[in-house]
Amino acid sequence: MQLYLSTRSPYARLSLIAAYRANKQDLNLHFVKPWENPAELEAVNPYSQIPALVHDNGLVITESLIIMQSFAGNLFSGGRSDALLGYAMATINQIVRYVSMNMVAGDTAGSAMQARSLAALEKALPHAPLLNPQGNDWGNICLGVAYRYLEMRLPEIYARRLSADNKAALKIFCRRDFMRKTESAELEKLPKTLADL
C-alpha cells in the first residue's frame, strides 16, 4: 500500500496516525505538494487532494475519515467520542479553509471566507471540549490533532481562545509516541515507509 500525503496536512496526519496505530509498518509514504497538482497525485486522485491511499490491487481510497476507518475499523464508536470527532473535524476544516484562502492572494471571496473561518474559530474555541491527553478513542485523538494544528497554523488564536486546561492537556498529548513521530519536522525528513518514522 502507498499513502500520498504532505508534511503539514492534518488530514494526512490523521490517516498516518491510524496506519501507525494499526501497525502498518510496510506502508509506503509518498510525499507530495498537492497545491502544485503533481501528476503522480492526479493519477490516483484527479482532485489532487491528500491523503490518498492506494492499495496493492490498485483500489484508491480518499478522504481522511474513510482512510482512517479502513485502518482502524472502529473509528465511529458512538456517543461522546463521535461528538468529539465531529468537533475536531469542524475545527480542522475551518483552519484549513483559512490557510487555503490565505494562499490565494488578492481573492475577495477568499478574504470573506477567511474572515468567516476566523470568526467561527473565535466563537467556538472558548467552548471547546476538554481533551483527554491519554484518551485512546478516535474522538480524543482527532481533537488533539485539531488543537495541535491550531497551535501550529494560528498561534495567536490558539493562545487567546483555547482554554488553559486544553493547552495543558495538549502539551501532555503531544508527548505520545504517535504524535511525536508525525510532527511536521519529522515528516520533513521524508521517511519512505511507516517503519522509518
Tens digit of each residue's pLDDT (9 = 90 or more) over 123-177: 999 999 999 999 999 999 999 999 999 999 999 999 999 999 999 999 999 999 9
CB 134 within 8 A of CB 177: no
Tell me what pLDDT residue 109 has: 56
Q: Residue 25: how many CB atoms within 10 A of its CB?
A: 12
Q: What is the pTM of this model?
A: 0.95
Integer-rounded Cα Rg, in Å, for the chain is 17
Task: Please report, for residues 60, 118, 154, 157, 158, the alpha-carbon distance to residue 42 in angstroms, rounded to integers and kept in the order given.
Answer: 12, 31, 29, 34, 34
Q: Are strands 2-5 and 28-31 parallel, antiparallel or unpaired?
A: parallel
Sheet strands (E) in 49-162: 52-54, 60-62
Q: Tens of pLDDT along 114-135? A: 889 999 999 999 999 999 999 9
